[in-house]
Amino acid sequence: MADYPYNTARWQRLRIAHLRLSPLCIGCAAMSIVRPANTVDHTRAISAGGPAFPGHDGLASYCAACHSAKTARGTEAGAAKTQRPRKGCDVNGNPLDPAHPWNAEKSLRAEGSRTEHGHENSISLIG
């Protein structure tokens, strides 16, 4: 177990209560995956001035993989911080990571396919 506050009984009670309140991983949910959470994370890192024992609105539930990916991209990563997108694709070959450049390009392509009135452009074939 890590250092304070994670080595306290108070944190363990807060962690268990939060996992009961929010049992699914929010990182997976953003990728349309349903997976149980086993890690509770501070939404504002203690090292960034966040409270050690916040209310449930200051906590987030993650699976181990999503928590590791979030930590590697957050302020707590320090010099090891990465901007690389998370690995993995859905059954259609689309990246799972909502922040992946492909998803940003896809939303730009979708916006570009609409006219200024919000209707999709289409080609009609008269035959």
In tens, the pLDDT along 70-94 reads: 887 665 645 455 666 667 777 788 8
Q: Which domain holds residue 94?
A: 84-114
Let me know whether 76 and 38 are in one domain. yes
Q: Quick one: CA torsion of 52, 55, 60, 64, rounded to 10 degrees? A: 50
Let me know whether 99 and 77 are in one domain. no
Tokens of 53: 């024992």
Let me know whether 48 and 93 are in one domain. no
pLDDT interval class at 122 (50, 70, 90): very low
Let me know whether 33 and 94 are in one domain. no
Total domains, the chain = 2
Residues 19-33 have a mean pLDDT of: 93
Residue 127 in any domain: the answer is: no
Do strands 39-42 and 59-62 pair parallel, antiparallel, or not at all (unpaired)? antiparallel
- pTM as predicted: 0.62
Residue 55 in any domain: the answer is: yes
pLDDT interval class at 3 (50, 70, 90): confident
Residue 122 in any domain: the answer is: no
Query: In this predicted structure, what is the pLDDT of residue 7?
Result: 92
Please state the three-class secondary structure of 70-81 as a single string. Answer: HHHHCHHHHHHC
Of 117, 80, 113, 89, nearest to 32 (Cα)?
89
Let me know whether 88 and 44 are in one domain. no
Residue 15 has pLDDT above 90, yes or no: yes
If phi > 0 it is left, if psi is from -120 to 50 it is alpha, else beta; for residue 60 that is beta
Residue 38 in any domain: the answer is: yes
